[in-house]
Structure 1
Amino acid sequence: MSAEAKPLSGLRVLVPRGGTWGDLVSRALRERGAHTVIAPLVDFAHTSEEDKLVNALKDLEAGKFDWLTATSSTVADVLKHHNAVIPPTTSVALVGEATAVAFTDAGYPITRTPSEENSTHALLEEWSEIDSGSVLKVLTLRSDVAIPVLTEGLMSRGHDVTQVLAFRTVGVPASVHIREDIESGRINALLVASAKIAEEVAAQFPDLPSDTIVACVGVNTLETAAELGLPADADDPSHPEYPLKRALIETVESVIDQSDMLD
């Protein structure tokens, strides 16, 4: 397929996260014709629950948990930072391609991921062990801004869940060069992949060109973007840029599930 025939040709897209997540998304967008600029608008800082995290990881190494869950690739970084050991008696359930890649690269085992739709809800539906009648001890590690979908799903089934905020999500100022490229329209599409990123886009780029595509991934992201007044013209199917925006969102969703912004 020639570059001209690819659905995202003509887009220069700001990818607002780095690491495994950013690499996967950027590669998928380039394969469909877009040019990408990885410029993180969020980063990850030490948790406010450091003592609780350290104690939980000690219990993990001691084999006190039946399962460990993660839906963010950053959890693998946290585990590596703490030299955490996952014993063979503890199984690992993950959601999201970026999460699985990060765990594999870190040398951690993966027991279960959704086989169909790669989402938190699909994991809860397919995870046969959580409906076996036995009470499982589960350690869930997530961000401070995450919606605890997986945690609450496990607790509602009566399991013994230890939930720990493994890291904090913080905003990162864009460079002067990035701001100039956005204000001039040289970067003509912004990927908004979480509520926190929506907040950063609204705060850092208050005067977006009218033809800049703002592509929001996930219901929570859309709701936050609307509250912040981010442009939504291309959300109308009659808008001439609607097909391009949908192609951008669908490309991202093909490699990164919305759950990476949740639990």
Structure 2
Amino acid sequence: MSAESKPLSGLRVLVPRGGTWGELVSKALREQGASTVIAPLVDFGHTSEEDKLVDALHRLEAGDFQWMTATSATVVDVLAHHQAVIPKHTEVAVVGEATLQAFEAAGYEVARTPQDGDNTTEGLLKVWPEIETDEVLKVLTLRSDVAKPVLTEGLISRGHDVTQVVAFRTVGVPASVHIREDVQSGRINALLIASPAIAREVAKQFPDIPENTIVACVGPHTHEAAIDSGVKHTAEHVESDMKHALIETVESVIDQSDMLD
């Protein structure tokens, strides 16, 4: 397929997160013909449960947990920030391609992750045979302040001993003057909104989005948050083939769990 015939040819997309997530999404978009600008609009901040987190990480290093779960690549950053190490006998279960890549890049072996394209928290619960036995497992679940505790609730409902900790908060990051000018001028002609937190930052930081700019919200909750936040978008783009291709490309590599933080 030539560059001109790819579905996203000619599109310059703002990718609103960095790290493994941003690189994974950017690579997928470039393969479909887009050019990308990684400009993080959100990052992680210290949790309101810092003492609880520190205690849980000490217990983790001491070998108190048989399993640890994560649904965000940011958990790897939290572990590094606290200089915490997962013991070899503690097994790791994760959701999301970006999460998997981040853990593997940090040198951790992931024992359980969803299979067969069902890359969701429910999908992980389906392919985790150890949680369906009579043994009560001690599990540490680490998540963001905005992620729904689906894994935690699924494990508790099966009778396991779960320590759940909000490991980080999502905080806004101001875009550079250069990025704001590129959005306002239309040189960046597509904005990717991949979480409610990002929707709020887009509304606040880019109040005057040009009419020709495609605003692509990934997931219904994100779309609702964008509307509620007052993100301006052009109604004609709803049926745009390029907008649909942009969203589908992102969804092909990123699970909803990876969009919550």
Scaled by the length of structure 2, what TM-score is found? 0.94
Return the alpha-carbon distance in structure 1 between the equivalents of residues 115 and 195 of structure 2.
24
Q: Contact (CA 8 Å) 2:11, 2:189: kept in 1 or not?
A: yes
**What SS does structure 2 have at the residue aligned with 1:92?**
strand
2:139 matched residue in structure 1: 138
1:135-167 deviation digits (Å, cap 9, x = unpaired): 221111111122222222222222221111111
Q: CA deviation at 1:97?
A: 1.2
Q: Given the superposition, is the C-alpha separation of residues 46 and 179 from structure 1 closer, same or farther in structure 2, using an over 3 Å criterion?
A: same
**What SS does structure 2 have at the residue aligned with 1:25?**
helix
Matches within 5 A, 1:97-176: 97-116=97-116, 117-176=118-177
2:51 matched residue in structure 1: 51
Q: Contact (CA 8 Å) 1:80, 1:106: kept in 2 or not?
A: no
Return the alpha-carbon distance in structure 2 between the equivalents of residues 207 and 104 of structure 1.
40
Q: CA deviation at 1:235?
A: 6.4
Return the alpha-carbon distance in structure 1 between the equivalents of residues 189 and 245 of structure 2.
15
Matches within 5 A, 1:1-263: 1-116=1-116, 117-230=118-231, 231=233, 233=235, 236=238, 239=239, 241=240, 243-262=241-260
Segments of 5+ residues of structure 2 without an aligned counterpart are none
Q: CA deviation at 1:26?
A: 0.6
Q: CA deviation at 1:228?
A: 2.1
Return the alpha-carbon distance in structure 1 between the equivalents of residues 92 and 123 of structure 2.
16
Q: Contact (CA 8 Å) 2:69, 2:94: kept in 1 or not?
A: yes
Runs (4+) off by over 3 Å:
none
Q: Given the superposition, is the C-alpha separation of residues 24 and 175 from structure 1 closer, same or farther in structure 2, using an over 3 Å criterion?
A: same
Return the alpha-carbon distance in structure 2 between the equivalents of residues 46 and 40 of structure 1.
17
Q: Given the superposition, is the C-alpha separation of residues 232 and 75 from structure 1 closer, same or farther in structure 2, using an over 3 Å criterion?
A: farther
Return the alpha-carbon distance in structure 1 between the equivalents of residues 130 and 28 of structure 2.
34
Q: Contact (CA 8 Å) 1:148, 1:262: kept in 2 or not?
A: no
Q: Contact (CA 8 Å) 1:149, 1:262: kept in 2 or not?
A: no
**What SS does structure 1 have at the residue aligned with 2:207?**
coil
Number of residues of Structure 1 aligned to a counterpart in Structure 2: 259
Q: CA deviation at 1:119?
A: 1.5
Segments of 5+ residues of structure 1 without an aligned counterpart are none
Q: CA deviation at 1:218?
A: 2.0
1:2-40 deviation digits (Å, cap 9, x = unpaired): 110000011110000011110111111011100100001
**What SS does structure 2 have at the residue aligned with 1:196?**
helix
**What SS does structure 1 have at the residue aligned with 2:48?**
coil
Q: CA deviation at 1:94?
A: 0.5
Amino acid across the alignment from 1:76: V
**What SS does structure 1 have at the residue aligned with 2:24?**
helix
Greater mean deviation of Cα atoms: 37-46 or 218-227: 218-227
Q: CA deviation at 1:109?
A: 1.9
Q: Contact (CA 8 Å) 1:195, 1:220: kept in 2 or not?
A: yes
**What SS does structure 2 have at the residue aligned with 1:118?**
coil
Q: Given the superposition, is the C-alpha separation of residues 52 and 26 from structure 1 closer, same or farther in structure 2, using an over 3 Å criterion?
A: same
